[in-house]
Amino acid sequence: MDQRHILVTGGAGYIGSHMTLALLEAGERPLVIDNLSTGSRAVVPAGVPLFEGNVGDAEFVGRIMDAHPIEAIIHFAASIVVPESVTKPLAYYGNNTANARTLLDCAIKRGVPHMVFSSTAAVYGEPERTPVEEDDPTKPINPYGRSKLMVEWMLADVAQAHPFSYAALRYFNVAGADPQGRTGQSTPNATHLIKVAVEAALGKRPGLDIYGTDYPTTDGSCIRDYVHVSDLAQAHLDALRYLRDGKPSITCNIGYANGYSVLEVIEVVKRVSGVDFEVRIKGRRAGDPAALIASNQRALSALNWTPHHDDLEQIVRDALAWERRLG
Ligand code: UFG
């Protein structure tokens, strides 16, 4: 095996910490960069070097790359809250788009051959059909989606111009936690539905607000495709293998091709936790598309991705177990 390192940006965060565990289990040598703005040192496994700083700091990133040969970058570090991107667009274009450019520039100057990029279903905006396929139009309806789509464009241009290949993985709604309880979502003031719902079930917040029940969906609440974070980490390992095999750059949806409404998710959280927490119906939240469901054929066939946790109850059970552990 190539003994160069895999650089995980945002490796002290929710998805990045699952990735680092998966890399270690696969016999890889991860290095973590994280500015600890939302991440936590505690979820970086023992023995994995953590460099505290910003991926937009070329001098900092360059020093790490000069000292450690890097075979691939898995780039998670980003801002991820859709409604926040609407009120703070420049923060999103800075952190997500401009910082990715700096990171790529450092990588290309040093001949790093591969990147796996955390893209998002938000690049589609309000899809014309569901399940949405990768070649369907990308018309993001919020700054978050646009900040990520611009990085996809940059990657495509860079891969044309340099000896470099990438996998852009368009995540749908990532949720759950490591089934062995080693890491999970620790983000303070989380806004994501399943995290908020399990906090409500454990009495950590006074119930949950539903943002809109007047969407053109079966029960009026928004529909999303919830994917277990451990299956998502596995998709990155599969993408890494794909790129190492010398295959061409690729863009893949990562979801289960299954949609659940907000009301259905809340019902599952109530059932699994046994707690009937308070739910309040509010108006729509800015930037929310009505329905987002992945076609995952490309990930299954090209990456050979095999999901093992395609089960909303398991996602909720694992999220609850981690939330209890957080205390
Ligand atoms: N929701 C509520 N109440 C809450 C939280 C969420 O009703 O307290 C609703 C939202 O309005 C939305 C759905 O639950 O309809 C899911 O919302 P999340 O905040 O959990 O996730 P988003 O769909 O807004 O965004 C997430 C990721 C993005 C990604 C997107 C892709 O944060 O990075 O999924 O589908 F792009």
Find, among 241, 250, 243, 233, the residue nearest to 171 by Cα: 233
Cα of 308 from ligand 1 centre, angstroms: 23
Burial class (CB in 10 A: 0-12, 13-18, 19+), 157: exposed
- Domain map (residue ranges) of the chain: 5-174+226-255, 193-224+257-298+307-326
Give the closest residue (by CA) to ligand 1 atom 18: 192
Residue 185 CA, ligand 1 centroid: distance in Å: 15
Q: How far is CA 121 from CA 67, 107, 278, in A?
A: 35, 26, 29
- The most distant pair of C-alpha atoms in the chain lies apart, rounded to whole Å, by 56
Q: Of 92, 93, 144, 242, which is the active-site residue? A: 144
Distance 246 CA to ligand 1 centre (A): 35
Evaluate: CB of 192 within 6 angstroms of ligand 1: yes
**Ligand 1 center from residue 282 Cα (angstroms):** 14
Instruction: Classify the phi-psi angles of 212: left when phi > 0, otherwise alpha if psi is within -120 to 50, otherwise beta.
Output: left
Question: d(Cα 152, Cα 147) in Å, to the nearest integer?
Answer: 9
Taking a C-beta distance cutoff of 8 angstroms, is the pair 17, 11 a contact?
yes
Question: What integer pLDDT is reported at residue 287 of this predicted model?
Answer: 83
Geometric angle at alpha carbon 38, from 229 and 28, rounded to 5°: 50
Question: Which of 85, 92, 95, 211 is the best mutation target for the ligand 1 pocket, counting ligand atoms within 8 Å of the beta carbon and taking the most?
Answer: 211
Q: What is the pLDDT of residue 2?
A: 59
Does ligand 1 have an atom closer than 6 angstroms to the CB of 222? yes
Q: How confident is the model at residue 265, as a pLDDT?
A: 98
CA 12 to ligand 1 centroid distance, Å? 22
Q: Is 12 in the pocket of ligand 1 (CB under 6 A)?
A: no
DSSP code string of 188-234: TT---HHHHHHHHHTTSSS-EEEE-S-SSSSSSS-EE-EEEHHHHHH
CATH number assigned to the domain with residue range 5-174+226-255, chosen from the 4 options 3.90.1150.10, 3.40.50.1100, 3.40.50.720, 1.10.3720.10: 3.40.50.720
**Contact status, residue 131 vs residue 295, Cβ threshold 8 Å:** yes
* 121 Cα nearest atom in ligand 1: 31
Pocket test of ligand 1: the residue of 225, 264, 288, 316 to mutate, having most ligand atoms within 8 Å of its CB, is: 288
Would you say the CB of residue 87 lies under 6 angstroms from ligand 1? no
Instruction: Give the tokens for residue 62.
Output: 């360059």
Does the Cβ of 173 fall within 6 Å of ligand 1?
A: yes
Q: Decide if 144 is catalytic.
A: yes
Q: Which residues of the chain, if any, have pLDDT below 70?
A: 1-2
Evaluate: CB of 196 within 6 angstroms of ligand 1.
yes
The tens digit of pLDDT for each residue in 184-232 reads 999 888 999 999 999 999 999 999 999 999 999 999 999 999 999 999 9
Fold of 193-224+257-298+307-326: UDP-galactose 4-epimerase; domain 1 (3.90.25)
Strand, helix or coil at 74? strand
CA of 10 to the centre of ligand 1 (A): 20
Choose among 103, 54, 115, 74: nearest CA to 233: 74
